[in-house]
Amino acid sequence: MDQRPIGVFDSGLGGLTAVRQLRRIMPSENIIYFGDTSRVPYGNRSRDTILKYAREDTRFLRTFGPKAIVIACGTVSSNCLETLQEESDIPITGVVEPAVHRAAALTKNRRVGVAATRATVSSGAFARVFRRIAPEVEVISLPCPLFVPLVEEGRCRPGDVVIETVAEEYLSPLRDRGVDTLVLGCTHYPLLTEVIARTMGEGVALVDVGAESARACRDLLTARGALADREAGTSGYYTSDRAENFQRLASLFLGEDAAGEVQQIDLEQY
């Protein structure tokens, strides 16, 4: 048993889709979440900048003495996971490998799409992991850079003509290539599940990277005998920009009200 918290971070609110799953499947765990909302999005930045930000995010989370850190961000996972793992004496997990395992298990026609940020697609991380785990799968990756700002603006519901138009523009090439499984390679995208499902049409399975990363974290802690043993865990939310903005949208991502638990911090202090 290990009562220390699990640290989770993302560039913004998207990683809360992983927290939602962590809470569901490991209700006894204490979770500390950091969303770097003053610098979101990461997905259009260079690898060097993403790594610099990710190191700072990790350093902040480490002040809570976590037993593990979950990178609930496709962009950071794709560009920096190995480097952060090499630098860390506690386990750090990302979203890519768990999502690839799931997609490889789901696809029947062995044609899988990956929708993600620019930095994720250009890192080639998903394609690399597919080649290692499921080389028979054809992978088609496409960047969808407008999805994150639209989600962070709350423009994610079916019937919203802006998000529906953008989704059609981005995803129609994947639909036309006949993928039967689509990895939502950014933790913001599960908020677009309904819009994306409609755009892709029936019979296309969607893989939520946040949910898969939560399951991978549970498997890791189980294997290490490091699950917590308490009635109910707590969640603490930290952000690098205004807490009110975070609070306003957090319930959308979490499916519960996060109000009253969000603190703004100055990363430079850490």
β-pair type (31-35, 68-71): unpaired
- Specify whether 73 is catalytic: yes
A 10 A CB-CB count for 72 gives: 31
Which two structure tokens, joined as six digits, stand for 59? 């350093």
**Per CB under 6 A, which of residues 80..119 are in contact with ligand DGL?**
117
Is 143 an interacting residue with respect to ligand DGL (CB under 6 A)? no
Q: What length does the chain have?
A: 270
Least distance in angstroms from the C-beta of 135 to ligand DGL: 25
Is 11 an interacting residue with respect to ligand DGL (CB under 6 A)? yes
Contact 194, 80 (CB under 8 A): no
- Specify whether 156 is catalytic: no
- Point out the residue whose Cβ comes nearest to ligand DGL: 43
Least distance in angstroms from the C-beta of 115 to ligand DGL: 11
**Per CB under 6 A, which of residues 187..226 are in contact with ligand DGL?**
187-188
Angle between helices 74-86 and 125-133 (to 10 degrees): 70
Nearer to ligand DGL, 69 or 228 (CB): 69
* Active-site option among 73, 80, 144, 217: 73
How far apart are the C-alpha atoms of 85 and 80, rounded to whole Å? 9
Is 10 an interacting residue with respect to ligand DGL (CB under 6 A)? yes
How far apart are the C-alpha atoms of 35 and 9, rounded to whole Å? 6
A 10 A CB-CB count for 1 gives: 9
Catalytic machinery residues: 73, 186
Residues near ligand DGL (CB under 6 A) are: 10-12, 14, 40-43, 73-75, 117, 120, 148, 186-188
